[in-house]
Amino acid sequence: MAAEERAAAIVLRASDYGEADRIVSALTREHGKLGGIARGLRKSRGRFERRLEPFSHVMLCFRRRPHGELVFITRAESAGLEVYEPGDDLAKFALGAYMLELSSALIREGSDAAGAYDLLAGALGELCRRGASNALRQAFELKLLRWAGYGLDFSCCRRCAVGAGEHDLRFAFVVAEGGLLCERCRRASSTGAQALAPISLGQLQRLTILPIDAACAEPAALADAGGAINRFIAYTLERKLRSLAFLEAMLPASVRAQS
């Protein structure tokens, strides 16, 4: 039998399986994204101090099985890890569920995901302490995309490198470019272009650079910027996230400039 391993984990998805088992997908710091099965979880609570449900932050004990099958989750302990409980506010719950789904979609099993784990843990912590905001949403999206190799650049035109805000040029985000094109370079034929107001450009740059806790204190970029990130995510994943509609109902995009 394989040796028991331990890892701090955030549960991304969980579903009941059969009468008492649960199938779990969790993001660990040391072992990336793991799929596992917890046997007898719903009936015997002894081995499982905490329930395994989305948002659970636990020390997972597990044994690997051959051929990349689901690992056997043997225990789950609270181990003093920060508890995320976004169920007391619908915007928090909606943004949290969206963060988990986006993580699930962008992180592949078996890849080193320490950076993504730290980012998700930090973002869920801020979410539960300070509540949901579009700034937190956008900062998380931009940072997770960057971690996954899709760093978006809002500083200058991808073609001619003219800086955003220079020469009174208008800029648009072009999904297929993963960045901006100035109005001179943007051909009429480019698809998926989203015009961005100068104030949004500046804000997107700040949210990209600032650490997640500082980004939360910033005003969000406006709806145009949110729309640009949305389009890029849908383009990259080739689908819309399922939690998006509920998120947009519970946490509408900012439409006016915030002071």
Partner 1 sequence: MSDNHRGIEGLPPAMTRLAHELARLPGIGEKTATRLALVLLSWPRERVIELAESLLEMKERVGLCASCFGLSDCATCAVCANSGRDHGIICVVETPADLLAIERSRSFTGAYHVLHGALAPAQGIGPDDLKIGPLIARIEGRPAGSVREVIIATNATIEGDATALYLAKALKPLEVKTTRLARGLPTGSDLEYSDVATVSAALSYRREL
Using CB under 8 A, which of 27, 37, 58, 97 touches partner 1?
97
150 binds, among Zn ion, partner 1, none (CB under 5 to 8 A by kind): none
Q: How far is the CB of 92 from partner 1 (least distance, A)?
A: 9
Among 89, 153, 213, 218, binds partner 1 (CB under 8 A): 89
CA dist., res. 79 & res. 84, Å (int) = 14
* Using rule CB under 5 A, residue 23 touches Zn ion: no
DSSP state of 120: H
Nearest approach, Cβ of 83 to partner 1 (angstroms)? 10
> Which of 183, 210, 186, 184 shows the shortest CA–CA distance to 198?
183
Of residues 223 through 242, those in contact with partner 1 by CB under 8 A are 241-242
CA proximity to 234, closest of 145, 151, 109: 145
Draw the binding track, 123-162, toward Zn ion (x: CB under 5 A; -: no contact): ----------------------------------x-xx--
CA-to-CA dists, residue 105 to 33, 64, 97, 127, angstroms: 11, 23, 12, 20
Contact 152, 142 (CB under 8 A): yes
Please give the backbone phi and psi of residue 33, each rounded to the nearest 5 degrees, phi first: -85, 130
Residue (32 or 54) nearer to partner 1, CB: 54
C-alpha torsion angle, residues 58, 59, 63, 69 (rounded to 10): 30
Between 123 and 182, name the residue whose CB sits nearer to Zn ion.
182
The neighbour count for residue 233, using CB atoms within 10 Å, is: 21
> For partner 1, which is the closer residue by CB, 88 or 168?
88
157: partner contacted, choices partner 1, Zn ion, none (Cβ within 5-8 A by kind): Zn ion
> Which residue's entry shows tokens 């003093």?
80
Q: Which residues bind partner 1 (CB under 8 A)?
A: 13, 15, 18-20, 42-43, 45, 50-51, 53-55, 85-90, 93-94, 97-98, 100-101, 104, 241-243, 245-247, 249
**Contact residues: Zn ion, CB under 5 A:** 157, 159-160, 182, 185
